[in-house]
C-alpha cells in the first residue's frame, strides 16, 4: 500500500471535478431542527450526477489516467452506484468502460449502465468470481480496474462533498456519514479534520453489517458475511486498507442503525423535505436522530449520500405501516 491520501489530495480532486460534478445544495429543515433540538445541514448528494456521491471519486480517479490508460479505458465490478459513476465518468472523458455485473442485476441498473455507454459483462453470482473475471478482462484488454472505495483517488474525490459542506455551512460540531466500504467516510474525515477542528466525525452502518464498528474496536479489519439489510449500498463485507487507515486515525466512532430507523428517515425526507433518498443514503440522518442529548444545540452536518431507489421499492418502503 502507498501512503494514505491527504487533504491536499482532496483539494486537487475538487479542482479536477469542478465543472463536471454538481456542487450539490446544503439544505435546512426547520422541522428537523425543532424536533431534534439541533441545527442540521443536509449535504444532498442525492442530487449529484447519476444520483450519488460516487461520481466524485470515479471522475477524479479516471481524470488521473495517463494516455495509455485512457486508451484502454476503465473497468469496474459493481451492481450499484459505483458502476454508473464509472460508466458516466468514462463517457464524459471519452474512454471505454466495462462494468462486470451479475446476471440477476435489476434491469433498470443494466439499462442505466448501458445508457451511459458502458459495455456490460455478466457473471453468475453463484459460480463466478467477479473480481477474478474483472482482473482477467483488465489484463486482456489493457483496462484499469477502479475499485469502489479502497483507492486513494476515489477517497480524495469522495472527500470533496464534505469540503463543500463545511465551506457552505460554516463550522460544524458533528458530521454524520453513511458508511459501506469507507470511501465516503475516510474522504469526509480528511476534509473535516482540515476544515472543522473539534468536529466529531461519525461513520454510520446498518446494524446487520457492523464490520466497520467491529474493526474500529478490534484495531484490525474484520470481515463479515454479506449482511441482510435494506441499505444495499452498505452491504460491504469489510473496510479497505486505505479507508481503515484513515478511519482509525480520524473518525471518532462508528454507529449503527436498524432498517426500521432507515425507513423512518426515508419517510421524513420524503414527507418534510420532498426528497427521494435511497435507504443507504438515510444512514447518517437516522443515527443523528437517535443521538439525543449528544446533538442538543449543536451544528450537525448530515451527508445524504444518494437517491437511487426504484419507485416501486421506494413506495413499498415508505408506504408500509
Ligand X SMILES: *Cc1c(COP(=O)(O)O)cnc(C)c1O
Residue numbers at the binding site for ligand X (CB under 6 A)? 52, 54, 80-81, 148-149, 158, 178-185, 233-234, 236, 278, 280-281, 305-306
Which uninterrupted H or E stretch holds 303? strand 299-304
Q: How far is the CB of 142 from ligand X (least distance, A)?
A: 27
Nearest alpha carbon to residue 235 among 224, 244, 245, 243: 224
- Which candidate in 9, 45, 51, 54 is catalytic? 54
The answer to whether 211 is a known catalytic residue is yes
Q: How far is the CB of 6 from ligand X (least distance, A)?
A: 18
The three three-digit cell numbers of residue 59, written as one number: 471522475
The answer to whether 79 is a known catalytic residue is yes
Q: Is the dihedral of CA 303, 185, 47, 77 positive or negative?
A: negative
For ligand X, the closer CB: 72 or 259: 259
The answer to whether 104 is a known catalytic residue is no
Q: How far apart are CA 63 and CA 304, in angstroms?
A: 25
- Which candidate in 63, 79, 89, 188 is catalytic? 79
- Beta-carbon contacts of residue 55 (< 8 Å; ≥ 6 apart): 21, 48, 49, 85, 88, 89
The answer to whether 51 is a known catalytic residue is no
Q: How far is the CB of 67 from ligand X (least distance, A)?
A: 29
- Which candidate in 9, 205, 250, 278 is catalytic? 205
For ligand X, the closer CB: 179 or 222: 179
Q: How far is the CB of 186 from ligand X (least distance, A)?
A: 8
The answer to whether 129 is a known catalytic residue is no
For ligand X, the closer CB: 1 or 34: 1
Could you tell me if 125 and 102 are in contact, meaning their C-beta atoms sit under 8 angstroms apart?
yes
The answer to whether 54 is a known catalytic residue is yes
Can you say whether residue 107 is alpha, beta or left, with left for phi > 0 and alpha for psi between -120 and 50 degrees? alpha
- Residues catalogued as catalytic: 54, 79, 205, 209, 211, 305
Amino acid at each position: 500500500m502507498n501512503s494514505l491520501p491527504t487533504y491536499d489530495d482532496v483539494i486537487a480532486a475538487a479542482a479536477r471535478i469542478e465543472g463536471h460534478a454538481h456542487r450539490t445544495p446544503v439544505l435546512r429543515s426547520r422541522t428537523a431542527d425543532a424536533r431534534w433540538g439541533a441545527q442540521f445541514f443536509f449535504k444532498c448528494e442525492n442530487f449529484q450526477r447519476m444520483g450519488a456521491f460516487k461520481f466524485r471519486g470515479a471522475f477524479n480517479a479516471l481524470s488521473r489516467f495517463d494516455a495509455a490508460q485512457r486508451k484502454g479505458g476503465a473497468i469496474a465490478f459493481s451492481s450499484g452506484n459505483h458502476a454508473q459513476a464509472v460508466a458516466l465518468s468514462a463517457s464524459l472523458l471519452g474512454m471505454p468502460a466495462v462494468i462486470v455485473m451479475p446476471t440477476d442485476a435489476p434491469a433498470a441498473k443494466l439499462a442505466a449502465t448501458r445508457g451511459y455507454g458502458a459495455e456490460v459483462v455478466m457473471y453468475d453470482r453463484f459460480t463466478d468470481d467477479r473480481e477474478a473475471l474483472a482482473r482477467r478482462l483488465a489484463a486482456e484488454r489493457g483496462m484499469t480496474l477502479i475499485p469502489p472505495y479502497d483507492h486513494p483517488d476515489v477517497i480524495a474525490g469522495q472527500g470533496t462533498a464534505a469540503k463543500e459542506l463545511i465551506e457552505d455551512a460554516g463550522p460544524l460540531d458533528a458530521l454524520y456519514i453513511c458508511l459501506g466500504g469507507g470511501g465516503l467516510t475516510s474522504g469526509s474525515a480528511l476534509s473535516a479534520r482540515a476544515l472543522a477542528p473539534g468536529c466529531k466525525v461519525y461513520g454510520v452502518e446498518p446494524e446487520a453489517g457492523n464490520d466497520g464498528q467491529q474493526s474500529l474496536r478490534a484495531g484490525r479489519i474484520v470481515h463479515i458475511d454479506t449482511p441482510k439489510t435494506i441499505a444495499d449500498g452498505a452491504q460491504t463485507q469489510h473496510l479497505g486498507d486505505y479507508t481503515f487507515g484513515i478511519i482509525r486515525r480520524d473518525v471518532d466512532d462508528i454507529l449503527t442503525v436498524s432498517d426500521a430507523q432507515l425507513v423512518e428517515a426515508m419517510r421524513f425526507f420524503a414527507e418534510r423535505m420532498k426528497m427521494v433518498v435511497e435507504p443507504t443514503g438515510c444512514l447518517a440522518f437516522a443515527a443523528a436522530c437517535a443521538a439525543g442529548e449528544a446533538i442538543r444545540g449543536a451544528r450537525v452536518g448530515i451527508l445524504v449520500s444518494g437517491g437511487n431507489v426504484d419507485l416501486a421499492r421506494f413506495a413499498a418502503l415508505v408506504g408500509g405501516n
